């Protein structure tokens, strides 16, 4: 593109935008335009959520894990759901790791128990900023569904019906202290908007560098929890963590 041509394009766009907007915002064009916009964002990795490309998530986790000792790796699967991430890591690492699956919903735990492995520990709690109880919302009529501690009001979920379940909440700091853990080689978090609260409950563990690397989902769930990407940035970067997108 020649110097200055982007200015011409910008001027043309401003002139054409009102007319295009009137056309594209007429029914049935609205639905089509929204779908195109949605999928273009997904192609760029925006808002697709964890699990959209599980293979990339597994590769990202493996590349972040430092294997500088012969000790068994310790991994946290926070928001284990039905165990897809755990299975991917086990396929890559075999018995050379111990995985702790944090999964508070009864239906998903029943599925996880059927996949039980000697080096996998099922923790029947949700994770948050402090210990206690909370209600979790699960999509009705869908097996092994997405569940959130927030009533979903984002567009993808607003027309669904939900069932509520009371669950126990623990914190990463308390769990690590109670189990005398000195390190977590990798922590994956996919808890539908509650990731920032979970990290606040892991501050002591993060501050002493006991969590070597981690991933967190950031997407439409954060609308419901009213958390911003800047919140994660301000919490993690002063502790020496570098943030990248998988």
**DSSP H helical ranges for 179-238:** 195-200, 203-207, 221-225, 229-236
Q: Look at residue 17 in the predicted model and tell me its pLDDT.
A: 77
Choose between 125 and 66: higher pLDDT.
125
pLDDT computed for residue 233 by the predictor: 97
Q: Is the dihedral of CA 228, 239, 45, 194 positive or negative?
A: negative
Tell me the pairing of strands 132-139 and 147-148.
Answer: antiparallel
Tell me whether residue 13 is exposed, middle or buried, using C-beta atoms within 10 angstroms of its C-beta: 0 to 12, 13 to 18, 19 or more. Answer: exposed
What does pTM read for this prediction?
Answer: 0.81
Q: Would you say residue 68 has pLDDT above 90?
A: no
CATH number belonging to domain 54-239: 3.40.50
> Rounded mean pLDDT of the chain?
86
Q: Which residues, other chains included, contact 92 with Cβ-Cβ below 8 Å and sequence gap of 6+?
A: 58, 62
Q: What is the pLDDT of residues 106-150, one digit of tens each?
A: 999 999 999 989 999 999 999 999 999 999 998 877 666 778 998
**179-232 pLDDT, tens digit each:** 999 999 999 999 999 999 999 999 999 999 999 999 999 988 898 999 999 999
Confidence of residue 53 (pLDDT cuts 50, 70, 90): confident
pLDDT at position 146 is 78
Please, where are the H alpha helices in the chain?
Answer: 5-24, 29-43, 54-64, 84-93, 106-114, 172-178, 195-200, 203-207, 221-225, 229-236
Question: How crowded is the C-beta side of 157, counted as CA atoms within 13 Å?
Answer: 21
Segment 160-177 shows an average pLDDT of 93
Is the confidence at residue 1, as pLDDT, over 50? no
Distance CA 241, CA 246 (A): 15
Rounded mean pLDDT, 49-68? 79
- pLDDT-derived band at 15 (thresholds 50, 70, 90) equals confident
> Residue 43 — very low, low, confident or very high, per pLDDT cuts 50/70/90?
low
Give rounded-to-5 percent helix, strand, coil for the chain: 40, 20, 40
Sequence ranges of the domains in the chain: 5-43, 54-239
pLDDT, position 184: 96
């Amino acid at each position: 593109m020649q110097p200055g041509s982007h200015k011409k394009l910008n001027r043309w766009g401003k002139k054409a935008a009102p007319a295009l907007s009137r056309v594209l915002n007429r029914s049935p064009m609205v639905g089509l335009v929204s779908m195109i916009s949605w999928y273009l964002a997904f192609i760029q990795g925006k808002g697709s959520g964890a699990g959209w490309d599980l293979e990339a998530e597994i590769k990202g986790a493996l590349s972040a894990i430092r294997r500088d000792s012969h000790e068994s790796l310790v991994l946290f699967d926070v928001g284990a759901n039905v165990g897809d991430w755990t299975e991917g890591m086990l396929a890559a690492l075999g018995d050379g790791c111990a995985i702790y699956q944090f999964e508070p919903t009864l239906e998903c735990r029943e599925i996880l128990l059927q996949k039980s492995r000697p080096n996998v520990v099922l923790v029947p709690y949700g994770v948050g900023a402090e210990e206690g109880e909370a209600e979790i919302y699960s999509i009705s009529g869908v097996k092994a569904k997405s569940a959130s501690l927030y009533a979903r009001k984002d567009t993808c979920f607003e027309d669904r019906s939900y069932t509520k379940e009371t669950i126990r909440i623990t914190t990463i700091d308390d769990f690590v202290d109670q189990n005398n853990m000195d390190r977590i080689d990798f922590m994956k978090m996919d808890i539908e908007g509650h990731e920032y609260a979970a990290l606040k409950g892991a501050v002591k563990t993060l501050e002493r560098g006991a969590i070597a690397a981690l991933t967190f989902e950031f997407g439409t769930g954060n609308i419901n929890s009213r958390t911003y990407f800047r919140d994660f940035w301000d919490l993690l970067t002063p502790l020496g963590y570098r943030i990248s997108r998988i």
